[in-house]
Amino acid sequence: MKSMKSLRLLCSMSFVAAAILVLAPQHAAAQDGYGAVFTMTNAASNNQIDSWVRRDDGSLVWAGAFSTGGNGSGGTVDPLHSQGSLTLSADHSLLFAVNAGSGTVSSFAVRGADLILLGTQPTGGSMPTSVTQAGDLVYVLNAGGNGSVSGFHILPNGHLLPIPNSTRNLGSSASSPTDVVLSPNAQFLIVAESGTNQIDVFHVWPNGTLSSAVTTASAGATPFAAVFAPTGALIVANASDTISSYQLDWHGSLHTVSNALPTDGLATCWNVLGRFGRSVYTSNATSSTLSGFDIERNGALTPIGDTVVGQNPAGSTNIDIAASGDGRYLYTLNAAAGVIGIFAVQEDGSLVSAGQQDGLPASAGMNGIAAY
């Protein structure tokens, strides 16, 4: 078994015409599928989104590559050290992507599996790595320097408008922030600080500006990825190979419900809701596995079966995870292998492998996956 230090190192490791850059011969199928899956190249020059049509059986058909209008960071495996670098709006009509190399965020209109670049905006900081959306609000996490968050309003045409005075700096140069997430009611903004073992909670004021942070010590070491369940519980995957859940009070304080349950995987750094919010799944990069937990009404977590519910081939290094909008499939970004892992979700929450989709560059710095 690798040391905790090595596990943490792994986790760290014009207009419309210009938007429709490359369309595959399957372009017509882009409008005929049951959904879509998007991955980001994070290329240091000409960052792009690769798009895939999702068929009824969960399989994927490549639909095109779309420029973000910015540059990524490059690198090899998990260079952004984050969750949420590629994020769909709740209604699946917009897609947001960070450009870590150019300090911008891009917004796209989603048309089936096709994307139309609406524009890019500076993020108010350096090295943006995560983006979140709720209602007409978008916030971006800048991981450079001490770290910061900045907000935007979504205009009716899908463009992003920076919110004046919305930037808030994080408190420590060692914060190593990894994820930003808005509560579904858009009244709280959460930042996971993996370097300080803290979770920051900001009140979101009616004009989109933020309060000072209320900071809570994480129940599990190295909090990495956060997601809100429909019950309101905050669920956090910890890179210490555990998962925790919390209830959030109106004052911004977090109260632990499930302390630090073991995932039985290695390098647990990403999570996603499944089964319409009844379960949460983690992506465990070093063991190339997925773990599953049922979510009780009070936010408590219960392992599904023997906890590990899915297995990618050894050496896959699945660094991120997404769920289809109909709750039937999970997709993992297997960065070392250059494939997308496909899993069918069973009624009891267990997973069955539905194969893999190749066509991605192996160990080439890809980060981010989103699906509907």
Looking from the CA of 19 toward its CB, the CA atoms found within 13 Å total 16
Tokens at residue 111, please? 């048309």
In which band, very low, low, confident or very high, does the pLDDT at 32 lie, cut at 50, 70 and 90? low
Q: Yes or no: say if 66 and 48 are a contact pair by the CB < 8 Å rule.
A: yes
Is residue 11 very low, low, confident or very high in pLDDT (cuts 50, 70, 90)?
Answer: low
CB burial of 239-262 (b: ≥16 within 10 Å; e: otherwise) equals bbbbbbbbebeeebebebbbebbe
Structural tokens at position 228 = 């809100």
As a whole number, the mean pLDDT across the chain is 92
Token digits of residue 321:
């995870």
Choice between 10 and 248, residue whose per-residue pLDDT is larger: 248
- For residue 94, what pLDDT band results from cuts at 50, 70 and 90? very high
Specify the pLDDT at position 74: 98
More confident residue, 233 or 5: 233
| Res 172: pLDDT | 79
Q: Where residue 173 falls among pLDDT bands split at 50, 70, 90? A: confident
CB 351 within 8 Å of CB 308: no
Question: Is 60 exceeded by the pLDDT of residue 346?
Answer: yes
Contact indicator for 86, 182 with CB cutoff of 8 Å: no
Longest dimension (CA), the chain: 53
| pLDDT of 103 strictly over 50 | yes
Percent of the chain residues past pLDDT 90, beyond the cut = 90
Query: 3-class SS at 108?
Result: strand
Mean pLDDT in residue range 352-366:
97
Contact present, 318 and 333 (Cβ < 8 Å): yes
Listed by start position, the domains of the chain span 4-13+16-371
CA angle 179, 181, 185 (to 5 degrees): 175
- In this prediction, residue 26 carries a pLDDT of 35
Beta-carbon contacts of residue 268 (< 8 Å; ≥ 6 apart) = 224, 237, 238, 239, 240, 241, 242, 243, 282, 283, 284, 291
Q: Which residues make Cβ contacts (< 8 Å) with residue 340, sequence separation at least 6?
A: 37, 39, 52, 60, 331, 332, 333, 334, 356, 357, 360, 369
pLDDT score, position 33 = 76
pLDDT in the model for residue 31: 47
- Candidates 3.40.50.740, 2.40.50.180, 2.130.10.10, 3.30.465.10; correct CATH number of 4-13+16-371? 2.130.10.10
Give the C-alpha distances (Å, rounded to integers) separating 219 from 6, 235, 352, 357. Answer: 21, 11, 31, 36
Mean pLDDT within 119-129? 97
Span 249-291, pLDDT tens digits: 999 999 999 999 999 999 999 999 999 999 999 999 999 999 9
Helix (H) and strand (E) counts for the chain? 2, 30
Confidence of residue 171 (pLDDT cuts 50, 70, 90): confident
In three-state secondary structure terms, 16 is helix
- Count CB-CB contacts under 10 A for residue 171: 16
Mean pLDDT, rounded, for 142-153: 96
Residues 163-174 have a mean pLDDT of 92
User: At 240, which amino acid appears?
Assistant: S
DSSP 77-100: SSTT--S-SEEE-TTSSEEEEEET
pLDDT tens string 40-79: 999 999 999 999 999 999 999 999 999 999 999 999 999 9
Asked if residue 338 lies in contact with residue 363, where contact means CB atoms within 8 angstroms, the answer is: yes
